[in-house]
Amino acid sequence: MSSYTAPVRDMRFVIGELVDLDAIAALPGCEDVGPDLVEAVLEEAGKLAGNVLDPLNQQADRNGARWTEAGVVAAPGFAEAYQQFIEGGWNGLACPTEYDGQGLPELLGTATHEMWNAANMAFALCPMLTLGAIEAIQHYATDELKAAYLANMVAGTWTGTMNLTEPQAGSDLAAVRSKAVPEGDHYRISGQKIFITWGDHDMTDNVVHLVLARLPDAPAGVRGISLFLVPKFLLNADGTPGERNTVQCVSIEHKLGIHGSPTCVLAFEEAIGYLVGTANKGLAHMFTMMNEARLKVGLQGLAQADRAYQQARWYANDRIQGRTVVDQGDARSPIINHPDVRRMLMTMRAQAEAMRAVAYTTAAQVDIARRHPDEAVRKAAQARVDLMIPIVKGWSTETGQDVTSIGIQVHGGMGYVEETGAAQYFRDARITTIYEGTTAIQANDFVGRKLALDRGAAMQALLADMRATLAGLDAADGEDLAVIRTRLAPAVDALEEAADWVVANYEACQADVLGAAFNLLMMAGCVCGGWQMARAALAASAQLAAGGDPKFYGAKLVTARFYAEQLLPRAGALLTVAKAGAASMMALDPEQF
């Protein structure tokens, strides 16, 4: 089994060549961000991921979190690793300085989160949920709640959760039944929540739950849900954890993967909670947290894909099986010389690089939307982020399934046994298409809110940027760039046609559009990935012309061409499938299935 090595140079390439790092450094609060700082952060994060988190990954899969009557016990080694994590300041890397965070851009935080998730996804889920809770509290809580909770959460000495799902209310949050009864300056929260990631553990001395519940006079449906902060331990007058609140973890789930991450059933029995934001606006407030989480779940698809690729690459260079196309006489070389193994490895590599570029460039837009002094620029960046989040979340996690599955195939039969580790990446990645909104939810959001609602305006801005890249390819020399251009141009045309079709048909033929939504989302991801790979090819070509490292930049150019030739043509097929309509999928009566 291989060990995880953070792909620091690949990360630096995206940050330095595909993201305008100078533009990020020009944002208020980012003045110190430059190539040296980026390299230093990535190198140190890579050490923690490779030396501390990765060695715990397989053993946590075998001996995960444990439920006891006293509370959940974290997987062996996790508590010590978490202390190293927070002592290094990693939890607050991109958090506001006013709460003792480091205030670095989301772009840099995104790169470190790729590392945490690639090295140990079960572990990484804990700080990921905390950051989402921080975001919601920072935006909507009272100054008193911010002062009481945020500094410890930013430091990581307290962790956070999000509590949406109930036994009868999965994705249908209109069915939430948990109640919140006012009592003085607080509320009494009662109900049961399920699937609560890191809902209880022994790594910190407090856990801060953000809980959706209904007030006694709340209207029915999603418009009657409020958001509450419910700590595991109530705070003393000096701000330290004191009396235990009446929220208990009654069980943890036995899951396909991420065994080191406790997925809890929480019972709230008149637990003391505090209103966050406006009454009956809780779902809108929670979406701030969910969007933060969705971006990072998309990173999990990328992270598991890259880790599976690293494992498959190592195995393909080590395993000798059969006669390859380069073997002569009695010689036998590793299976990496079989053309089909090359196909699989290149597919894994190209998709991981495309996902990384899409995720990081979206994170850069998050920074611009938060920090840019010009309101119009912030608004445009936020529109891009809103458009891209379902793509990053949905396409990256679905692609992560494909890549981790291919990783098992590279190993042959050895991939199907647990000792190699290949199966764990596949199992761990499987949840990513489900939590924080299934792929269908992302797809429906994409076609409904992100295309139909604004009549395709955000998509047209994205398409304009893609056509600018096509113009750059037109002006460039080289066979690789010419091939990439010939494959990217029709894919961009297909994406534009798809967006126009959604806008024209969403109201009149909603079943057709929603039936096509998954394929349209996958198409958008495929084309966005192809666009970023084309940009990578242009950057690599320029570096080669300037005397850059021929192995590194040459590999970038070849990988981009492979994506254009082997993966980008899927866009046209997906458009054909999408426009076929929903007649055949809706034709059978339920009893015919």
> What are 5-60's pLDDT values in tens digits?
999 999 999 999 999 999 999 999 999 999 999 999 999 999 999 999 999 999 99
- Position 290 confidence tier, pLDDT thresholds 50, 70, 90: confident
**pLDDT value, residue 425:** 98
Q: Give CATH for domain 159-281.
A: 2.40.110.20
Residues contacting residue 532 through CB under 8 Å, at least 6 positions apart = 18, 354, 357, 358, 361
Residues contacting residue 453 through CB under 8 Å, at least 6 positions apart = none
Average pLDDT over residues 311-334: 93
* pLDDT tens for each residue of 264-283: 999 999 999 999 999 999 99
Average pLDDT over residues 175-180: 95
Integer Cα distance of 310 and 545 in angstroms: 29
Integer Cα distance of 343 and 336 in angstroms: 10
**pLDDT value, residue 1:** 86
**pLDDT value, residue 288:** 79
Parallel, antiparallel, or unpaired for β 207-213 and 159-163? parallel
Integer Cα distance of 410 and 414 in angstroms: 9
Smallest CA-to-CA distance from 321 within 303, 298, 306, 337 is with 337
Can you tell me whether residue 210 is helix, strand or coil? strand
Res. 289: pLDDT tops 90: no
Side chain identity at residue 413, one-letter code: G
Domain extent listing, the chain = 159-281, 439-587
Smallest CA-to-CA distance from 461 within 388, 534, 359, 393 is with 388
Report DSSP state, residue 273: E
Res. 255: pLDDT tops 90: yes
**pLDDT value, residue 395:** 98
Q: Are 540 and 510 in contact (CB under 8 A)?
A: no
- Position 292 confidence tier, pLDDT thresholds 50, 70, 90: confident
Task: Report the catalytic residues.
Answer: 436
Counting residues of the chain whose pLDDT is more than 90, the rounded percentage is 96
Can you tell me whether residue 229 is helix, strand or coil? strand
Token digits for 443?
Answer: 């797809």
Smallest CA-to-CA distance from 485 within 565, 566, 575 is with 565
Average pLDDT over residues 284-289: 85
Locate tokens 């966005």: which residue? Answer: 528
Smallest CA-to-CA distance from 122 within 187, 205, 201 is with 201
**pLDDT value, residue 363:** 98
Instruction: Identify the helix (H) or strand (E) that includes residue 525.
Output: helix 510-545
Side chain identity at residue 266, one-letter code: L
Residues contacting residue 397 through CB under 8 Å, at least 6 positions apart = 297, 298, 300, 301, 429, 432, 433, 439
**pLDDT value, residue 162:** 95
Average pLDDT, the chain: 97
For residue 102, CA distances in Å to 89, 99, 287, 497 come to: 8, 9, 24, 44
Q: What is the dihedral of CA 289, 291, 295, 300, to 10 degrees?
A: 60
Helix axes 457-475, 510-545, angle to 10 degrees: 30
Res. 476: pLDDT tops 90: yes
Token digits for 523?
Answer: 């198409």
End-to-end CA distance of the chain: 43
Can you tell me whether residue 453 is helix, strand or coil? coil
